[in-house]
Structure formats: structure tokens, C-alpha cells
Chain A
Amino acid sequence: MKKKVILAFTFVAVLGLVAMPLFGGGRREARPQVTVFWALYDGLTEDYRRELESAFMAAHPDIDLDIVAIPWDNMYDQILTSVAAGDPPDVSVIGTRWLLELKEMGAVLPVEDYVSQALLDNIAEGTKEAELEGVLWGLPVAAGARLMAINKDLTDVVPTTMEELRDAARDAADRTGAYGLILPGQKHTELTDFVYYFYAAGGEFFEVQADGSLGRSTVNSEAGVKALQFMLDLAEEPGLVPDGYLSQTRMDAHPVFYAGNAAYVMIGAWAESSLADAGATFEVEYAQIPGFAGHPSQPLVVTDSLVMFDGAGNPEAAAKFIEFFYQDEWKARFDELIGFPPVTLSAAALPQFDTPLYEALGEAAINAKAWPLMEGWAEYDDRIWDAVSEAFLGRKTPQQALDDAAAAIDRARGF
């Protein structure tokens, strides 16, 4: 009797576990499968992703393509988890600043070994940031310097120094009752909103050692303190920056500009498509992010790359996808949607990239400076932003806060 009961239970339990794959959909396809981690840029539509997917599969019926949309916020974690578990995607968009980390892990393949020479020749020379020691590891997918957008309904001044910017912003705020300048007080994936001021003061994150490698942190240099103090002064002037700046990431703060409630914002090329999305009707002028008096303008440039991962299984099929995507038909439309300047020579010649925005971007690119390319940057970036927060909150002076951050970074790097 009892035996029967026991048997019945075991049977049911085992049956249940065995039966579950039936609706698990876990069957393996024989066709090569290419998985692409696809970053959700502002302005990139779901339609585009679907059309690209089906167009590629129509052209290559033997390959199963899966383009997985992932928000930027989550991209880094997703890639790391999958690499750590030994099951990376075939192709992924990455921030080029993560490349060194991934290369040190042995996670990426040199893309130049897999795509055609014709494609490599078509990539603009200045955008090949993913070149390490002469080897091109990834193709630039979106490369753009940051610039300043000005609401012409609120101000006519195009400032040429940070000090002028402050005065013009104050003036605009006083005259119109709108905010003078957008100043996000919280980090959104990167240190961006500090680095605008830091680079404008001629700041460098690290000293360069004799052998060319990066040494101790110099974020607490005179430039760093000057930049942070300047941000604090901006924040403390009533009405100059949005009231709730302390709680705003750029994702919360930029819409204030899109809504016509601020005169100046330091922003990327996506401004144009975002303004259109928000239904903005005011006139916008694009200008360079100024340097402090006596310093040249040195805007941040951010490159994202398309890289191939080792161990994903189908590098040849993955390369076919990359070739397909970099045709003008797809890549130029992509650039246009996300509002970044084209990275291929053939697309650069297209008429849609002949606008004031792209002109300003081209100019910005000349002096632009990138993030440091190093292992562990995500941690140091966090530490620096924590220092910025502590200064904003009045818990430390800018000098103290940056000294502490520099010390923590040096300690973590073993100096």
C-alpha cells in the first residue's frame, strides 16, 4: 500500500520535471545561430531592429539571427555575466572603454581577421578607437563628440569660456525665469557630467608613466578641484540650475531642456532626435562645450564599438552580419536615427549628414578627448562620482572629496 503511494509520488514528481521541457521550447537548431546584443540608443526604433533582423535572414536564409535589445544601463552587466558563464553573444555593441577589460579576459576576437578589407577601408580613420597595439578589435558603431545645445528663444549668447557660460546662463535665468543650465547631479552609467568640466579645465585622470602606462590618479589635481568647485558654485546659485538637480540623472534632466525650460545643456548628438520626439518648437543652436578661460575646448568623445566574442561558436556567420549591417542602406539609417555622425566614408558622403548639427560635431571631434582606456574603469568612475556627490551634499570640500577618491583609486590599483 505504502509502496504504491511512494511510487506514485516519485512518479509524478519525476514526470513533472521531465515534462517541463515540453513547454520549455529548448530545442536546439542545427542552423548556425547568431546572437547580437543590441544597445538601445535614444532614437533607435523597434521597427529598425525588426527590419534589420528579417532583411538579414532573407539575405542569409542559412543563418538564424537574433538581435536582442538591451538598455545601456544594463549592457555592461549583461555582457559580463554571459562572458563569465562562458556563453557570450556572437556580436555585441560595447562602450569602447570596456574593450581593454574584455580583451584582458580573452573574451573578444580581433574583428579585422573576420571582416573584408573593403569594409575596413571604408571605416573613417579617426574613429578606430578600438585599435590596441596595432590590432583592430572592434568596429566603431557610434562615435560622437559631445557638444552644447542652446535654446535660442531664451538666449543669444554663444559662450566661448566656461566663465562666460555661467554669466550667460545666469543672465538668461534672470531674464526669462527658465533655468540657465542643466546640471545633472546623479550619474547615468558614466562620469559624463563631471568630465565636461574636468576636461574643460585641462584635467587628466591619470599621470602617464615613462613606459606609457597609466600611473597614479590625478583627478585631485588643480584642474579637478577647479572643475568641481565650479559645478558647486553653479549649483548654489538660486534658479541657475534645476531645483531637483541632486536627484536628476541626465535621463531626468535633459527633458527639462527639451521642454524649453533651460537655456544651455551639454549633450550628445542624440539631442536632435530627442528634441523632435519631445515635440520641441524652439530654435536650437549647436556650439562647442567651452574650456575654462585660458584652456582650449576639449569636449568628451564617446565611441561605441561592435565586437565579436570568442567562444560564441559562429564567427563566420557573425562576420556576415557585421558586413550586412555596415552597408549604407542600414548603417546610414542607423546613424541618422540615433543622431551620430557616420563612421563609414561612404555614408559620410550622403546628403542627410550635411546639417548644422553634423557640422558642429565635426568641429568638436577635432579636439575631443576620450575616456581613459583601462581595466577596472567602472570602479574608479564610481569612486569619482561618489566624490562629486559628497561635494554636492556638502559632506566634503572638493579638494577633500577628490583627494579621497584619488587615494582610493591608487589603493585599488596597488600604488
Chain B
Amino acid sequence: MDRGKLHRLLEKLNDYRGVIALVVVFVLGIIFSPRALDTGLPIFLSWQTQLAILYEYSEYGLLATGMTLVILTGGIDLSVGSVLGLSAVLFSLLTIGYGWGVAPAIGAVLLTGLACGLVNGSLIARFKMQPFVATLAMMTAARGAAKLIAGGIKVQPGGQPWYAMQEGTPPFFLWMTSALPGIGVQPSTLIFLFCILVMAALVRYTSYGRWLYAIGGNEEAARLSGIRVGAVKVLTYALCSMFAAMAGVLNACRQDLGDTEAGMTYELDAIAAVVIGGTSLMGGRGGMMFTLIGVLIMAYINKILSLNAVELAPRMVIQGIIITIAVLIQQKRGRSS
């Protein structure tokens, strides 16, 4: 094999760095997995555990899906965790408190998410605020709004005497979190997978996707080539907030209540997942499937540590180290190309 061929092969492998990392983590998972007491097989490998991992990370996954779009344009959205919290509270309040049907409640929640995203997008595109600052303001405001409408309590049946539902669990909450007969997957998981796959196709095969990369690569050049940069940005932040709102619905169903603290610091996990996948924080490089890999890597690491009942302090150190390594790998790629 001559040098050129080898070089090309290495370059090809370079593109699949994320996949390789995922495989490594997966193998580590099998090695360090405790064995089931009844069958003696590694628990990590079981179908049940794999599904549980996807299910537990579906909220982070939805946030990371939206975050990827924003980061591709070179922006950042710090408000997703708070929008998730606001949506979880609002959804619980509408269904449990006011007795709304599920469809109008989800509609209202998504509209609220859309509104948050439009505010973010307009502040950034029209009023030229830095994404960090604009979404930081939204992060504070949305968390406050969640506490306001909840009235300082967790929204759950019987929380207030006037709530339409005084006990039990809304059937929709149960349905979302129970495995569907036959395939054994929770609807929450399916929603996440559906969203990220659709967005992956959108980013890859439509002009909208190409615009994202163009803006993230060189905003001025994108503008000069006729892309309506402002409109694309507003749409992107709107999409991001709507995914966060959907994650809020999932959160309410999973927790069986609307918690005003829900989603606290989730924005950081979402950003970490995107970065670990290999999408550049500088914008213009990366992709949706990278993010799926990033989410899986984070979820696997968490599950391995959790299955082994590793204590909190070392666990946090290990997570920090892994994020650092991922970023280092990303920097290396930046220099080589």
C-alpha cells in the first residue's frame, strides 16, 4: 500500500472518529458490566438495558437535536433547559390542573416553545444580540415563568384543591412511559428517534441544511451569496425551542408531574453531547448523526457508572475527563484540515 492510499484511509477513518469512540465506550460497557444474578450475562448487553439507556436520554437527545441546528450556525442556546421546565409545568398544569385534552395541551406547549424561540431568534438576528446573552436572558425568564404559573409547587394531581384531577395518573402520562406491546419501546424513545432522524435528513438533504453550514462557516459570505441569514436564524432558534418544549412534555410524563426545577443544567448536557459527537462550537462543521453518537456516548458512560454504583465524586471527575478528551479530539481535527 503506497503512502497516498494510507493517507486517504486514515482521513476516511478520521471522519468516523465518533463512531470509533462509541464502539470503544460500548466495549468498555460490556467489560465493566456487572453480570445478571440469574443468567450470568452482562447486564449492559441486555436489550432491556439498551432500551432503558435510550429512554433515559430521550430528553437530552431532543435538546441536543435542537442544539445541533443552533451550533451549526455558530450560535448557542442556553435557554433549552428552562424552556423544558416551563413546558413540563405548563403541560402538567393544562392536563392535570385545567383538565385539557392531550392534543390541545401539546399544541399549546409547542406554541409556547415557538414563542420563546422566536424571541431568542429575533433578539439575535434583528437586534444583533450575542446568542449567549440573548438566550441567557431567556433561560432566566423562562425559569421564572415556570415558577410563576406553577404557583411555587410541583404540579401534580391534588396539588391545588381546584385542579381537575385530584388523584391518580393521567392515562397519556402512563402511555408515554410504558413499553408499547410487541416492540417493547416507550413512545418517549420513539419521539426522540423520529425527531433526530427527520432532522438528520433535513440537515443533509435540503437547502435549509446547506444554509446552516454556510452561515456557520462564514456568515458574511452566506449573506452575500443571497441567503436570508436573519430568517434562517430565527427559524433555527424557533426549532430548537420547540424541541425543548417537546422534551418538556416527555419530562412531565416521565416524572408524573410538572417540576419547576425540571431541566436545570440540562442545556450543558445538551451542549456536551453535541460537542462530544464532534460538531464544532465554532459552527459550520458537524452534523445531526454526530449528535446521535454524542448522546449515546454520554448515555453509555452514565449507565456504566450507574450500574457499578460508582460514587458521585469520582463519577463527576470521570465525566469531566471524557468531555475534555472529546474536545481535544475535535481540536486535532480542526488543525489537520
Bound together: no
Give the interface of A toward B (CB within 8 A): none
Give the interface of B toward A (CB within 8 A): none
